[in-house]
Structure 1
Amino acid sequence: MSIRPHRRTRALLSLSVVALLALAACGDDGGDTSPEDGATDAGGAATTDAGATDGATEGGADEGAGGDEEPVELSFANSYPDTHPHNECGAFVVRDTLGEGDSGISIEVFSNSQLGPDAERFTSVASGDIDIDIQGSSAISASFPEIGALDAAYAFEGPDALFEFVDSPAFEDLQERMLEATGVRVLDVWYFGMRHFTANQPIRTSEDFSGLRMRFPDSPQYLANAEALGATAVPVAFEEVYLALQQGTIDGQENPIPTIRDLNLPEVQSHVSLTGHQVGSVLAIVSEDTWQSLSQGQQEALQAAISETRDGDRQCVEDAEAELVQQWQDEGTMEVVEDVDREAFAQQAEEYFMENYSGDQLALYEQIREIANQ
């Protein structure tokens, strides 16, 4: 039996050979690649099968596949550095779990946007050039607009509410609609972290945004979040956030706690306000062409490996959040503002989205809010 490398993987291997020959001839100069906004922007529900075939989560990655599967190598792409929880506690765990089983599946992880930024990678997953990926809802919404509602400000109170929705029939219906519309299958959802604001002053209410230019990612949903919260949004490339703050082009920004650390923002921002205005999440997705090329046992093994990683990945993200906030408080690195009027922000956001969403996006938002408020 021979391994059937994915065509994108074969191309990358060929490129790697060319690159090595070039380095040998020209020296060792190289450069860094910067992650997309979702990469370093980074769930108490019980582990779910998230639409798996029966027995996938009960049997685990080792069962149901048998020992005589034809070996396959799958690419697993993401935007995160190797040290991010979505790799250390996510993609690498999936790779190792499948590698230790007898499903015949081996995973090659392409981290740190090696295979391109989010929007480009989603297109590559849809075409089958990338097998598995991790994508935020806002990035996917360029191809499937309604799913952007998952990233609406204060759509969820916290990760527990997020996973209550993910484990509901409503999310199963969403998965089916997305598969039909895009040819991409959602295997599960991982927690990404709570998004908070930084500035050189506290932000407790929407009035505190007055006169501030706040950086938001340049996507329709994030810009809608800014409007819903009463902020003046300035789209700035992720790689330019630090410099824009340093030069005064913008006055503040919003991101999860680990990203604020990774961008060295405590050097140019004095306050972090724990608004928790968005429960960040990412979707583990697979090309439907890839999925259908797998045997039933391999499908079960892949689904189980992704879903069984969810809780551990969430724990890693939450540990990083708590440790960094405590460190900043203890060392005085940043002033941590906890007395935020989240209730007023949440009410304001809900009123905005109920008035401005329409069609399928409004229907999904209403489902989310109904389940989240139970």
Structure 2
Amino acid sequence: MGAMMGRRSAVGAVMGAAALAAGLAAPAVAQARRRIRFAAVFSDQDIRGEAMRGFVTDLAGQFDVELHLNATLFRQGTELVAIQRNNLEMANLAPQDISRQIPAWSVMTSAYLFRDAEHMRKTFAGDVGREFNRMARDQLNVHVLGPLYFGTRHVNLKPRKRISTPADLAGLKLRMPPGEAWQFLGEALGANPTPVAFAELYTALQTGTVDGQDNPLPTSRTMRFHEVTTQFVLTSHLVAYDLLSISARLWDGLTPAQQAAIQAAADKAIEASTRRHLMQEEEMVNFFRTQGLEVYAPDVAAFRAEAQRRYLASPLSQAWPAGVLDRINAVS
């Protein structure tokens, strides 16, 4: 009996030790699945929202990624500070928000910097992009995963005047969003920039308060601006993008395999979003033509040359690294 009790005690001790080990291991396994909260202002109906749902799916089992869209977790413009304060792991950051803390980054918000979405992608994938991303990392605690394209802005006019060069926009009242940088952009296009609230823009076009506006084509259709205008001039003056970004502190705490998984999922989401946006923009060109509007490209090279000349001659370019514009222009 004593020997049997001894064996039972030994077995019990082993089982107890195994249970203790399992209990200690469980938190470690749970801890390996890091929570990543992602904040963005776009909605779940946005093409980017769909792309980010794919991001979550691709990382399922490795990370608990929570999507907080439509500015439900942090309001627009506060996401960067939230990352810096360790209150947020990941966000879709506007380059303008980065440029407020790093003035050199303002070049990345200027008109006619990128020729199209592919030129933007190549720039960020090359030496210039790596240098600017390193600034964001070193100074802001932000690791940039890549640029997330969401459309190209074009000029949309009520007058039927044919536009070829910036000189053809002289005297036309072009609605631009309020703010010094936006108003300067309107001047760089050759127009007379006029600030009008977005909610009042349809009426302003209808009544002739302004002669035109600029937005990505899908936005113009959503807001039905084609009902009160006659033409779209494909100036391609601003390639719109945000930066898919993650906390550098979090990133540095990950294993190389985990970093590779996140980067691969981000690359896939960015590619899917870009493809869908480009398809949608092409659909908009066809739609506007069926509605009887003219849709054509002006002398974009003339617009680019004039806009870049104006930027370089203005105080807005004082913080730009020497030669950076030439380096970006040379990316092919």
TM-score normalised to structure 2 length: 0.81
In 2, distance between residues paired with 1:297 and 1:217?
A: 43
Summarize the Cα distance change of 1:327–1:182 in structure 2 as closer, same or farther, 3 Å threshold. Answer: same
Summarize the Cα distance change of 1:318–1:147 in structure 2 as closer, same or farther, 3 Å threshold. Answer: same
1:2 deviates by 6.1
Which residue of structure 2 aligns with residue 231 of structure 1?
191
Structure 1 contact 214–232 (Cα < 8 Å) conserved: yes
Of residues 225, 248, 251 in structure 2, which corresponds to 1:265?
Answer: 225
Gaps of 5+ in 1: 4-66
In 1, distance between residues paired with 2:97 and 2:214?
A: 17
Of residues 129, 145, 155 in structure 1, which corresponds to 2:103?
Answer: 145
Show the 5 A alignment for 1:1-374.
Answer: 1=26, 70-88=32-50, 90-99=51-60, 102-103=61-62, 105-201=63-159, 202=161, 203-246=163-206, 248-332=208-292, 335-356=293-314, 357-371=317-331, 374=332
Larger radius of gyration: 2
Structure 2 letter corresponding to 1:275: T
Summarize the Cα distance change of 1:123–1:206 in structure 2 as closer, same or farther, 3 Å threshold. Answer: same
The superposition leaves residues 35-89 of structure 1 with CA deviations (integer Å, 9 ceiling, x where unpaired) of xxxxxxxxxxxxxxxxxxxxxxxxxxxxxxxx8862222221222222222112x
1:361 deviates by 4.6
Structure 2 contact 289–295 (Cα < 8 Å) conserved: no
Structure 1 contact 128–288 (Cα < 8 Å) conserved: no
1:200 deviates by 0.4
Summarize the Cα distance change of 1:173–1:242 in structure 2 as closer, same or farther, 3 Å threshold. Answer: same
Structure 2 contact 158–205 (Cα < 8 Å) conserved: no
Gaps of 5+ in 2: 1-25
1:294 deviates by 3.9
In 2, distance between residues paired with 1:2 and 1:216?
A: 54
In 2, distance between residues paired with 1:129 and 1:232?
A: 42
Relative contact order (C-alpha < 8 Å, sep 6+): which is higher?
1
The secondary structure found in structure 2 opposite 1:141 is helix
Summarize the Cα distance change of 1:179–1:228 in structure 2 as closer, same or farther, 3 Å threshold. Answer: same
Summarize the Cα distance change of 1:115–1:265 in structure 2 as closer, same or farther, 3 Å threshold. Answer: farther
Summarize the Cα distance change of 1:241–1:73 in structure 2 as closer, same or farther, 3 Å threshold. Answer: farther
Identity %: 26
In 2, distance between residues paired with 1:132 and 1:242?
A: 35
Structure 2 contact 42–49 (Cα < 8 Å) conserved: yes
The secondary structure found in structure 1 opposite 2:58 is helix
TM-score normalised to structure 1 length: 0.73
1:366 deviates by 3.1
The superposition leaves residues 305-360 of structure 1 with CA deviations (integer Å, 9 ceiling, x where unpaired) of 1122222211100010011111221233xx13314121211111122223232243
Summarize the Cα distance change of 1:366–1:325 in structure 2 as closer, same or farther, 3 Å threshold. Answer: same
The superposition leaves residues 72-113 of structure 1 with CA deviations (integer Å, 9 ceiling, x where unpaired) of 22221222222222112x2111112112xx32x122212222
The secondary structure found in structure 1 opposite 2:78 is helix
1:239 deviates by 4.2
Structure 2 contact 152–238 (Cα < 8 Å) conserved: yes
Summarize the Cα distance change of 1:118–1:368 in structure 2 as closer, same or farther, 3 Å threshold. Answer: farther
Structure 1 contact 151–221 (Cα < 8 Å) conserved: no
Summarize the Cα distance change of 1:234–1:329 in structure 2 as closer, same or farther, 3 Å threshold. Answer: same
Runs (4+) of structure 1 exceeding 6 A deviation are: none
1:256 deviates by 1.0
Summarize the Cα distance change of 1:331–1:165 in structure 2 as closer, same or farther, 3 Å threshold. Answer: same
In 2, distance between residues paired with 1:212 and 1:140?
A: 32
RMSD between aligned alpha carbons?
A: 2.6
Summarize the Cα distance change of 1:301–1:176 in structure 2 as closer, same or farther, 3 Å threshold. Answer: same
Structure 2 contact 285–295 (Cα < 8 Å) conserved: no
